[in-house]
Structure 1
Amino acid sequence: MPYTAHVIMHRALPEIDGLKPSQRRILYTMFQMGLLKSGRKKSQGVVGQTMFLHPHGDMAIYETLVRLTKDNESLLIPYIDSKGNFGKHYSRDMKYASARYTEVKLGAIAGELFRDIEKNTVDMIENYDGTLQEPRLLPVTFPSILVNNSSGTAVGMASNIAPFNLNEIIDYTIASIKKPETDVMQYIQAPDMPTGGNIIYNEKDMRQIYETGKGSFKIRSTYRIEGNSIIFEEIPYTTTFEAIIEKISQLVKEGKIKDIVDIDDIYGINTKGIEITVKNSTNKAVLIEKLFKMTPLQDTFSCNFNLIVNGRPQTLGIKQIIQEWVAFRGNAIKRGALFDKTKKEQKRHLLLALKQVLLDIDKAVAIIRETNKNNQVIANLMSAFQIDELQAEYVAEIKLRHLNKEYLLHRIEEIETLEKEIAELHEIIHNKSKLDRKMIQQLKNVKKVHGQERKSQIIFADELPTLAPEEITIDNYNVRISVTKEGYLKKVPLTSLRGGNAMKVKDGDEIINQYSTTNHSDILIFTDKYNCYKYKTYEIEDHKLSGLGEYLPTLLNLQDESILFVTVTNDYKGNLLIGFEDGKVAKIALTAYYTKQNRSMLKNAYANKKALYWDHIHEDKEILGVSTIKKAIVFHTSMINPKTSKTTIGVQAMKSKKNSVVVGYYDLSGKEFEEKEYYVTKGAGIGKYLRGNDFSSILAQGSLF
C-alpha cells in the first residue's frame, strides 16, 4: 500500500501545475543551472544534476527530458529548446541520440513556469536525502495542465489528459474568473494535438469530455492528392507512421486492399508524411475512406482527466480543473504579494529612521564621533532618536558621501512610493477583485507573447462521407462466426477451416452458436438491458482457429449488462423468436432491426420482461415449454404471427396456473419423441404434467430440476 500510494501521488499522475515529479525536477534543475537565460548545455550535464533531486537512472530521466523538448514534438507547448537528434513522437523507430550528443536550454515559455518562484509563491520541500530544496509545485502563470497533454499509469488508476490550444484555454479561464458559470464550449472548440490532424467533432461526446473528464474523440490524418499519389501528412497523435505503413502493407498482403502500388514514408528536412501510390483507375476518395476505416490513419484518443488535487487523485472536467487552477494560482499570487509587501515594509521601516535622523543629522554625526567604543554606537543612536536596533544599524552604515542633502531627500521621497506600493499589495492580498485583475493581466500577457494558432483543424462528424460497405469495396469472403457460452466471438475465414483443425475455446467454455456468413454481414447482439448492439463483420479482425476471438463484453464496453443472444444476417430475412418467462412467445420480423444509418445500438430491442429463449428462424418449428410446476406443452411457431414491432409482448403459448412461470423453452426440430403428441396443443394451454422420463434427455441439458 505505501508503494501504491507513492506511485499514484509521486510518480504517475500530474498535479495542478501540469507536471509530474520527474518533469518538475528536470525543469527546476535547468532553472537552477541558469538555462532560462544562458546558452544550451549538454543534456548529459542536465541529467546528472537532476539526479540530485530525482534518484532514478540516467536513462529514465533522459527519456522524460526528451519528451519535454521542441524537437521531439510530444508537447503542444514544449518547455525545452533543444538542439540535436531527439527522435520524433510520431515515429517508433527514429530513436533519439545519446545525451552526450544533444544540447538543451529552457524555452521562453518556461519563464512562466517559474515566475516569482523566489518570492515564496510555492512551498519548498527537502529532496530525497535532505541535502537540497525543491519546489512542491511550480507557480505556473497559465493552466498548463490543460495546455500540454499528460498520460500515466499508476496502480489501479490511470490518467490521459488531452491538450488544448493555449489561446482558447486562456480565453476561457479569463471568462471563468469573471463569470464562473461560463459554458466551456463557448471558448474551447476541441482538443489541439501537437501533431495536428483533423479532430472529428461530435458535440455530445465533446461535452461529455468537458463536463466529466472522461470520453473519447477521433482524430484523422490530413491528406492531399498529387497525381496517382495520396500523401497523408499530419497523422493522429496516438499512432506512428511505421504502425500505419505496417497495417496498410498487411491489408495489401491479405488482399483486402488491391489498389495500392507502393507505400513509403517521406519524412525529411523539408517533407513529411506517408505517400501511397495507387493505380490509374483507383477511386481515390473511396480508397481514402477505406483507409480511414481500416487503419490507424483515423484513431481514437481516450480521455481520463485524472490528476492530483490537494493531495488526492480526482477525475475532473475542464470547468473544475480551471477552478482548482485559479485557486492555486490565486494563492501563489497572494504569497508573492505578501513577500513583496514584507520586503517593502522592512525597507520603509529603515527609511523612517533615516527620516527621523535627517531632522538633526549633525546630532547623529556627533553621537558617532563622540562614542568611544564601536559597539556602543548602535545603542547610543537608539537612545538618542528612539529607533530600534535594525534602524540604528541602517543609519550607522550610511556612507559619508551619502550625507548630502540630495541623497537624503531622495530616500525620504521613496517612503511615499513604498507606502503606495504596500497599499496596492495589501489590496491584492485582501481584495478578490484586485487579485483577479492581477491574474487576468498575467494570463493576457502569456497569450500575447506565447499564444499560437490551432494545429488541429475541426471537421464535423455529420459532414463526413457515409459510404456503404459495398461502396468502400470491402472484400467480401465467406467466414464462420462462432459464439461461445462465456461471450467470445470468433470470425474465421472459411479458407482457414480447410485443414480440419478443431476450433479452440477457453477451458470450461463451449460453442453455442455457429453461423456461416460473409464479411459483409451484420452481427446483432442482444442483452438483458433490452438493447441490441450492431456490429459489422468486417470491423472484426479475422481470427485463427487457435485464438479465443473477441470478448464481446469488452468489445462493446458493457457495464452491468449481460449478453443473451447473438445472431448474424446478410439480408435481415427470417424472424427472431423470443420466449418469455410469462409464457408468451414473440415472433419479430428481423427487418425491424434494419436501419439505414449505421447505428451501433438500438434501445428497447424487445419487450421489457425476462426472456428465456432466443432463436433466429427461417422456417417454423416445434417448441417445448416447461413450467415451474413441471407442466409441459409442445406448440408450433406457425401459430404465432410475426410482428414488425420490436417491443411486441408476444402470443400466449403457455398459460399460468398456481402462479407458475416458464423456466425453459426447447427446440424440438429434427427430434422425434413418441410421447410428444401427448403434449401437443393447437392453442394456448396450461400444459400437462410431465410423465416419467418424457423429454429427459432434453431437460437434462437445461438442468431445470
Structure 2
Amino acid sequence: MDVILKPITQTLEENYMPYAMSVIVSRAIPEIDGFKPSHRKLLYTMYKMGLLTGGRTKSANIVGQTMRLNPHGDSAIYETMVRLTRGYDALLHPFVGSKGNFGKHFSRDMAYAASRYTEAKLDGFCSEIFADIDKNVVDFVDNYDSTTKEPELLPVTFPNILVSPNQGIAVGMASNICSFNLSEICATTVELIKNKDHDLLLTLSAPDFTTGGEIIYEPDQMRSIYENGVGSFKIRGKYVYDKKNNCVIVKEIPYTTTVEAIIDKIAELVKDGKVKEISDIRDETDFSGMKIAIDLKRGVDPEKLMQKLFKTTTLEDSFPCNFNVLIEGAPKVLGVRSLIFEWLKFRHGCLKRGISFDIKKKKDRLHLLEGLGKILLDIDKAISIIRGTEDDGEVVPNLMIGFGIDEIQAEFVADIKLRNLNKNYILSKLSETETLKKEISELEAVVDNPRKIDKIIIKQLENISKKYGKPRKTTLLYKGDVVEYTETEEIDDYQVSVFVTKEGYLKKITPQSLRMSGEQKLKEGDSISSVYETSNACDLIVFTDKGQAYKTKVYEFEDTKASALGEFLPQKLSFDKDENVVFAFPIK
C-alpha cells in the first residue's frame, strides 16, 4: 500500500474545512430573512402544499413532503417544525398553527406527541414571509437532487431576524439572537429609514420573550448590545405571593431555563440545608400555562426568600447575545442597527424585483392590446385572412404580414373566438390600454427611486404592526430598583460556643443548650483542642496539615448538643485525602 505524506495543515484544509463551512453556511447560522435552511425548507414545503390558505394536515405528511428539500431524518424535520408551532410557545409570532400535543418550550418533561398524532398548517402570519414570492422577488436554486427548486431566502416584509429568536452552534462559532417585540422592531425600522442615527433605545426598549419575566435593565449595557451585537443581560422570573395559602406562585421564568431545572435546583438547596424556608415545592404546569407553587414555612418573608432564589437558581439567568448572521454567504456579527440596514438592503432588492415583474407583466399585456388595436382598423380583413388560410400553421404568419404585428400579438389574435371578433369586444379590451400605460409609468417612477421604495416599506411595516402587533410580555426592572440578596440578611445572629476536637470534629452549641448539657460526648481517644465564644454570623478559618486554609461560615453548621459528636470538618469542607485539621478559629 502506497503511503502519501502530506502536511497536516493541508489535510485539515482538505478534509475539515469543507465540513466546517457546510455547518456554518448550510445548517447552524441564520440568514438575513431570519431563518436557517431547515426552517426555510419546511415552511416553503408547507406553502407549496397549500397550507397557508387550506386546512390542517397530518404532521407526518408535512415531514414526508419536506424530505424532498431536506434530506434529513423525519425526527429532525419534525423537531424543527415543533419549534415553529403555536403550541410549543417558543416564538412571539409562530409560523405554524398546530393541533395536538406539541410540548412546551419552558418544560423539559412535557414531550411532544409523535407526528402521526398531530396536525398543522401555516399560520396566517406567514402571508408576510411569502409575500410576492411568485413574482421572482428572490432567487431560486436546485434542491439536493435537482428535481425541484427552492428559494435561497424568503421575502419577509419585516425584520424577522430580530423578531424570531435563533440559536445555533457551528464549527468555531455560534449564534444566539434574542427575540424583540414586533411593534417595537417595526417602529425602530421606520425611524432608521427616516434617520440613520436614530437612538435605538427610544423605540426598542429591550428584548421580549414568550415566557415573560423581567429584564434587569441597564441602558448603557443594552445600548452596547444594540451597537455591537454581543453582550449579555439578566432576566428573572416573576411571582405573586398567595397570602391565604402562604405560598409563592411563579408564572413567568427566564426564556433560557425550564420549570424542571428551577425545581430541581431549589430541591437540591433544600436538601443541602441551604434553603430552610420552604416546606414544599410543586410543578403545577399544564397546557393552560406555566405554574410553580412554593409553600413557605410559617413566618418566612417571601420577598427575602425570592431574592435568595434569584441569586442561587436559574429563576434569574443571563442571556448571552451573539448576533452572528450570514450576510451574502459570510458570517458576520452585527448590532441591531446594522442588521436592520442589511434587512432594508435585502428588502429593497425584493421590492425592486417585484415591481420589475409587475412592469413586465403589464408591458406584455399592453403589447398584446396594441396588436389587437391594429386588428380593430379592419376586422373584416382579419376574418378574411383567417378564413382564407388553408393550413392552420399559416394563420399566425399571415396575420403578422397582413397587419404588421409580431408573432406574440398574432397568436393572441388567432386565439380569440370567432364570435368575439367584433368591434364592441375589441373596444372593451382596448379600454385597458390607457390604464396600463399609466400604471407602467407609475411603477417605472418607483422602481429606481429608493425614497419611494422606502415609503412602501414604511407603509408595509405600519400595517404589519397594526395587524399583528402585541403588547410586550417581558417587563423591565431598572438595575437601581433591584434589591440584591446578601447572605448576612438571612442569618440569625446569636451567641454560640464552638468546640473543635483534635480529630477534626466541630460542635456549635447555644448558651442555653450548654447550660443544660452534661459531659461532652467525644469519639474514643479524641479530645477538645479549642473552644471559642463567638456569634452565629462569624467566619470560621480552618488550617490543615497540608498547608491549606479553608474559610466557611459558623451558621453553616447545625446547632447541636453536648451529647452529639458534631460535624466532621474534613467531610464538611471536602478535604483532600489524608488531610487533617491542625487549627480552627472564628473571625468577624
Q: TM-score range by the shorter chain?
A: 0.7 to 0.9
Cα gap change, 1:126 to 1:226, in 2 (>3 Å): same
- Amino acid paired to 1:139: P
1:16 pairs, out of 32, 36, 39, with: 32
**Corresponding residue of 1:335:** 353
Once residues 443 and 491 of structure 2 are traced to their aligned partners in structure 1, the CA distance between those partners, rounded to angstroms, is 70
- Amino acid paired to 2:190: I
- Amino acid paired to 1:410: S
Question: 1:267-321 CA distances to partner (integer Å, 9 max, x unpaired)?
Answer: 1354531000101211111111111111111111110000101110000000000
Once residues 452 and 401 of structure 1 are traced to their aligned partners in structure 2, the CA distance between those partners, rounded to angstroms, is 56
**Corresponding residue of 1:144:** 160
1:514 pairs, out of 543, 549, 553, with: 549
- Amino acid paired to 1:167: S
Cα gap change, 1:120 to 1:20, in 2 (>3 Å): same
Per-residue deviation, 1:416:
1.0
Once residues 422 and 10 of structure 1 are traced to their aligned partners in structure 2, the CA distance between those partners, rounded to angstroms, is 39
Cα gap change, 1:168 to 1:469, in 2 (>3 Å): same
Per-residue deviation, 1:205:
1.1
Contact 2:217 2:479 in 1 (8 A): yes
- Amino acid paired to 1:21: P
SS at match of 1:302: strand
SS at match of 1:207: helix
1:76 pairs, out of 92, 107, 110, with: 92
**Corresponding residue of 2:397:** 379
Per-residue deviation, 1:518:
3.0
Question: 1:176-208 CA distances to partner (integer Å, 9 max, x unpaired)?
Answer: 112212121111010001111111111111111
Per-residue deviation, 1:263:
0.5
- Amino acid paired to 1:279: K
**Corresponding residue of 1:394:** 412
1:223 pairs, out of 217, 224, 239, with: 239
**Corresponding residue of 1:288:** 306
Per-residue deviation, 1:517:
4.2
**Corresponding residue of 1:36:** 52
Q: Counterparts of 1:284-323 in structure 2 under 5 Å?
A: 284-323=302-341
Contact 2:379 2:422 in 1 (8 A): no
**Corresponding residue of 1:407:** 425
**Corresponding residue of 2:198:** 182
**Corresponding residue of 2:459:** 441
Cα gap change, 1:156 to 1:282, in 2 (>3 Å): same
Once residues 252 and 138 of structure 1 are traced to their aligned partners in structure 2, the CA distance between those partners, rounded to angstroms, is 50
Cα gap change, 1:229 to 1:475, in 2 (>3 Å): farther
Matched, 1:55 2:95: no
* Regions of 4+ moved over 6 Å: 474-477
Question: 1:629-656 CA distances to partner (integer Å, 9 max, x unpaired)?
Answer: xxxxxxxxxxxxxxxxxxxxxxxxxxxx
SS at match of 2:225: helix
Contact 2:308 2:485 in 1 (8 A): no
Once residues 333 and 570 of structure 1 are traced to their aligned partners in structure 2, the CA distance between those partners, rounded to angstroms, is 72
SS at match of 2:39: helix
Higher relative contact order (CA 8 A, sep 6+): 2
1:354 pairs, out of 372, 378, 385, with: 372
SS at match of 1:100: coil
TM-score normalised per structure 2: 0.82
Per-residue deviation, 1:31:
0.5
SS at match of 2:145: coil
- Amino acid paired to 1:372: E
Contact 1:219 1:298 in 2 (8 A): yes
Once residues 181 and 427 of structure 1 are traced to their aligned partners in structure 2, the CA distance between those partners, rounded to angstroms, is 28
1:429 pairs, out of 447, 464, 474, with: 447
1:463 pairs, out of 481, 494, 498, with: 481
Question: 1:597-651 CA distances to partner (integer Å, 9 max, x unpaired)?
Answer: xxxxxxxxxxxxxxxxxxxxxxxxxxxxxxxxxxxxxxxxxxxxxxxxxxxxxxx
Once residues 492 and 220 of structure 2 are traced to their aligned partners in structure 1, the CA distance between those partners, rounded to angstroms, is 30
Once residues 471 and 345 of structure 1 are traced to their aligned partners in structure 2, the CA distance between those partners, rounded to angstroms, is 79
Once residues 45 and 268 of structure 1 are traced to their aligned partners in structure 2, the CA distance between those partners, rounded to angstroms, is 28
**Corresponding residue of 2:510:** none
Once residues 543 and 419 of structure 1 are traced to their aligned partners in structure 2, the CA distance between those partners, rounded to angstroms, is 87
**Corresponding residue of 1:102:** 118
Cα gap change, 1:16 to 1:465, in 2 (>3 Å): same
Cα gap change, 1:151 to 1:271, in 2 (>3 Å): closer
Per-residue deviation, 1:418:
1.1
Per-residue deviation, 1:494:
8.7
Once residues 367 and 492 of structure 2 are traced to their aligned partners in structure 1, the CA distance between those partners, rounded to angstroms, is 83
**Corresponding residue of 1:121:** 137
- Amino acid paired to 1:119: K
Once residues 165 and 110 of structure 1 are traced to their aligned partners in structure 2, the CA distance between those partners, rounded to angstroms, is 17
Once residues 252 and 226 of structure 2 are traced to their aligned partners in structure 1, the CA distance between those partners, rounded to angstroms, is 25
SS at match of 2:285: coil
Once residues 178 and 134 of structure 1 are traced to their aligned partners in structure 2, the CA distance between those partners, rounded to angstroms, is 34
Contact 2:311 2:485 in 1 (8 A): no
Per-residue deviation, 1:41:
0.6
TM-score normalised per structure 1: 0.68
Contact 2:550 2:573 in 1 (8 A): no
Once residues 448 and 489 of structure 2 are traced to their aligned partners in structure 1, the CA distance between those partners, rounded to angstroms, is 67
Contact 1:469 1:520 in 2 (8 A): no
1:268 pairs, out of 280, 283, 286, with: 286
Higher helix residue share: 2
SS at match of 2:116: helix
- Amino acid paired to 2:319: F
Contact 2:491 2:555 in 1 (8 A): no
Cα gap change, 1:460 to 1:370, in 2 (>3 Å): same
Question: 1:343-363 CA distances to partner (integer Å, 9 max, x unpaired)?
Answer: 111111010011111122122
Please give the root-mean-square deviation of Cα atoms over the aligned residues, in Å.
Answer: 2.4
- Amino acid paired to 1:168: E
Once residues 299 and 321 of structure 1 are traced to their aligned partners in structure 2, the CA distance between those partners, rounded to angstroms, is 26
- Structure 2 segments unaligned to the other structure (5+ residues): 1-16, 497-504, 508-522, 524-545, 557-571, 578-585
Q: Counterparts of 1:223-262 in structure 2 under 5 Å?
A: 223-227=239-243, 228-262=246-280
